[in-house]
Amino acid sequence: MSKEIEDHRIHNQSGNEPFSVILDRRVSRRGIMQGGLGVTAMTVLGGFGLAGCSDDDEAHADDQPEKTPLALAFESIKGSKTDAIVVPAGYTAQVLIPWGTPLTSEAQDWHSDLVMTSENQANAVGMHHDGMHNFPLDEDNASSDFLLALNNEYIDENALWAPNGGPTNMSEGARPAEEARTEINAHGVTIVRVRKQDDGSWAHVPNDTYNRRFTSATPMELAGPVAGSDYVVTKYSKDGTRTRGTNNNCANGYTPWGTYLTCEENWPEVFVHTGERFSDDARLGIPSERGRYGWETAADGTEATDDLARFDITPRGGSAAEDYRNEARTFGYIVEIDPYDPARSAIKRTHLGRFRHEGCWPGKLVEGEPMVFYSGHDSRNEYIYKFVSEAVWDPADANRPGDNYDRLAIGAKYMDEGSLYVAKFNDDGTGEWLPLTPYATIKDGRTLAEALGLAADDLAGVIIHTCDAADLMGATPMDRPEWGTVDPNTGEVYMTLTNNTNRTEEGSAATYTNDGSDVDDLGVGYATAPVNGPNPRADNEGGQVIRWLEPSPKETTFEWEIFVCGGAASDPNDINLSGLTDDNQFASPDGLWYDERGDGNGILWIETDNGYENVTEDTNDQLLAVVPQGVSQASGDAAVIGSGNQAQLKRFAVGPNGCEVTGIFATPDKTALFINIQHPGNWPADGDALTQDATVAIGEGETVRPRASTVVIWKDDGGQIGL
């Protein structure tokens, strides 16, 4: 999630023990916090288990052949504070498909003083690029001609309405309907064909039949347990099977059958409920006075389809079929899109849970075993989830680029039936997945359905109340779970815990956002909480990357450890737990991607959305790389990467002033790396160009209408990125 639209409120009013407390005990148990941070951690070579997580690591290690890890072949670049991208020597970085790039002939050509309209924005690349993925059109040209699916997370209203001097009545008063509809169309997902040019540069293909937008107004289907239930009946869909739009799409995912997963994160703020809210509305943080953009204020009773009125979910009619009280209940899901079929609707897969999804990442594929998808709820003191399919993986369902077949039917097979779980972390380095089903038993002996006040078999109700269900089951509140990624060889799952500045010193008392009277009944609601094992620092502005390993996709136990802790080189040792230096200091890890390179090796790429002053005074947000298989042993810190091996972590790129670096993938041949630059302050340098050198800064004292953009990075000698 961009820190530009982060909701700092804590909506988790349970009393569940937070990850910080667990981590403190975990670190103490390993002796890491004693005697100058002694070490017991070592990393995985071949995926035989996580160091320090169990007593039989050595037995597992004996079963695996030793592999030679890759070596990163670039020098870590210096931090940068400029209006330009910085990449290592021998690399080129190019701007591609910035906001406003025309996709169809219905869109106007971009120029820096273009006044955007709702129709134009519906046919052009959306704002604030985030998660993305590539989809080949055929195997032979997979690295040079493919479809790019791209999230457009939110809007910068000042850049959007720059020619008008800014938005109208953004904070108070009625919004103009045309402005609201334009902003609605700037959100969502872009599907665009991109192609490598003869000179090695890249360009999009205008008017391609695959080019398409999904916005906050696009009709979509509901599938899974919630579809057709009373919970999602609205005036628009009286049978509860359809909705309109996907909103605030942050990270992403993909499926092995060739579909794109886009994830609804900070969607609650676009709605408003001025009456007595549903419990799930309050738990998820839906505003009670005005939506984030005030779209609901643009409704004047004359729009035929209530396209603006639906954002006010206050009950107005005699039943749910007469108003939009349930409209917000059609949001908060994983949305599946077939980029290969321009005629198909997107489908919201409700069985994967309803919350502020950061992203959705498939686990290791094992023929004959269930499929697994992991997701994090990106808010302070929220949870990590996984979905396990009822169907087992059949390699015959793998993507076949160039063939026309019903990929969304395959999606229904693996994503509409299965089991949703939430994670509980233990201080001994183990964890368990707790089932979120109506019949699951909570700590006082009641079933989950009974505790939520639902009918005994009401799975749809459990999904609608995913967060409340996780509270009651005793899940572990985490420090803003953001992006995840999976090593496809070992099945190890990595996830960023971005930060939590409400963390207090060891031994301090927890304070609650409520009066504490119902803590034993529901369990966090922490306004502050003491440090623990996975969260070993008070006032945690650095964040960390954790990882875990499960015996198999269908197992409900796992082992976990901290992989690396963010921090500043200037921080004392008890804060800079991974011994970071000027060459690799970072904070607030956000984007994450495991880049498989063969023979059991891979590169873990880490992107940042930093607000920690000790780091921001030296560098903008950045992209770092590390080969996990090459980090053999920590040397004194509370994470796998420590002061003795932090040189294995290298800074590869730095973004322009004001930006967040996010979204990432490489072409199959690994010769081009794609990243996104979100909310830059004064970039790209040429305000009229759609492609340009990303490393050029605008002239001193000059300003440009900023545009988020995808950036393509390649090695000048044509070799593989990073090596």
What amino acid is encoded at 229 in this protein? S
Q: How far is CA 234 from CA 279, 290, 330, 454, 708, in A?
A: 18, 21, 9, 20, 35
User: Residues near 611 by Cβ (< 8 Å), separated by ≥ 6?
Assistant: 3, 499, 541, 587, 588
User: What are 607's strand-pairing partners?
Assistant: 623
Distance (Å, whole) CA 506 – CA 538: 8
Q: Which pLDDT belongs to residue 15?
A: 66
Distance (Å, whole) CA 338 – CA 345: 8
Do residues 669 and 57 make contact, with C-beta atoms less than 8 angstroms apart? no
Q: Which pLDDT belongs to residue 522?
A: 31
Structure tokens at 128: 């604030």
The label of the residue with tokens 């009773």 reads: 301
The label of the residue with tokens 């961009």 reads: 2
Dihedral sign for Cα atoms in the order 363, 586, 249, 678: negative
Structure tokens at 445: 């002996």
User: Residues near 350 by Cβ (< 8 Å), separated by ≥ 6?
Assistant: 222, 223, 224, 225, 226, 227, 333, 460, 463
Structure tokens at 676: 């996104």
Distance (Å, whole) CA 421 – CA 466: 10
Q: How far is CA 124 from CA 109, 541, 609, in A?
A: 9, 37, 26
Between CA 147 and CA 155, with CA 152 as vertex, the angle to 5 degrees is 155
Under DSSP, the state recorded for 280 is H
Cis, bond preceding 684 (omega within 30 deg of 0)? yes
Distance (Å, whole) CA 723 – CA 717: 11
Q: What are phi and psi of 580, to 5 degrees?
A: -65, 150
Q: How far is CA 629 from CA 498, 561, 615, in A?
A: 23, 15, 27
Do residues 372 and 387 make contact, with C-beta atoms less than 8 angstroms apart? yes
Structure tokens at 605: 């790429």
What amino acid is encoded at 418 in this protein? G
Structure tokens at 79: 């931090």
The label of the residue with tokens 């030793």 reads: 66
Q: How many helices (H) and strands (E) does the chain have?
A: 12, 34
Q: Maximum distance among all alpha carbons in the chain?
A: 72
Contacts 24+ apart (CB under 8 A), 320-323: 320/230, 320/233, 320/234, 321/233, 321/234, 321/235, 321/238, 322/235, 323/234, 323/235
Segment (H or E) for 205: none
Name the nearest CA neighbour of 719 among 665, 686, 673, 664.
Answer: 673
Strand order from edge to edge, sheet including 260-264: 242-244, 219-223, 346-349, 334-337, 260-264, 249-254
Name the nearest CA neighbour of 351 among 251, 272, 437, 269.
Answer: 437
Q: Is 306 left (phi over 0), alpha (psi -120 to 50) or beta?
A: left
Distance (Å, whole) CA 642 – CA 43: 11
User: What are 450's strand-pairing partners?
Assistant: none
Question: Rounded to two decimals, what is the model's pTM?
Answer: 0.92
Burial class (CB in 10 A: 0-12, 13-18, 19+), 410: buried
Q: How far is CA 535 from CA 29, 608, 638, in A?
A: 14, 18, 10
Distance (Å, whole) CA 190 – CA 262: 11
Q: Which pLDDT belongs to residue 500?
A: 72
Q: Which pLDDT belongs to residue 660?
A: 97
Do residues 295 and 175 make contact, with C-beta atoms less than 8 angstroms apart? yes
Under DSSP, the state recorded for 97 is S
Do residues 272 and 312 make contact, with C-beta atoms less than 8 angstroms apart? yes
Q: Is 525 left (phi over 0), alpha (psi -120 to 50) or beta?
A: left
Do residues 496 and 482 make contact, with C-beta atoms less than 8 angstroms apart? yes
The label of the residue with tokens 């999602």 reads: 232
Distance (Å, whole) CA 516 – CA 75: 52
Structure tokens at 122: 């519906």
Distance (Å, whole) CA 381 – CA 8: 11
Name the nearest CA neighbour of 420 among 360, 346, 489.
Answer: 360
E strand map for 154-218? 188-196, 202-204, 212-214
User: Residues near 147 by Cβ (< 8 Å), separated by ≥ 6?
Assistant: 134, 135, 136, 137, 191, 192, 193, 194, 210, 339, 340
Contacts 24+ apart (CB under 8 A), 400-405: 400/258, 401/135, 401/136, 401/137, 401/138, 401/139, 401/142, 401/258, 401/340, 402/137, 402/138, 402/139, 404/340, 404/341
Side-chain-side CA neighbours of residue 657 (13 Å): 14
What amino acid is encoded at 95 in this protein? V
Q: What are phi and psi of 471, to 5 degrees?
A: -55, -50
Which parts of the chain register pLDDT below 70? 1-15, 20, 23-67, 501-503, 507, 509-538, 632-637
Distance (Å, whole) CA 42 – CA 554: 26
Burial class (CB in 10 A: 0-12, 13-18, 19+), 262: buried
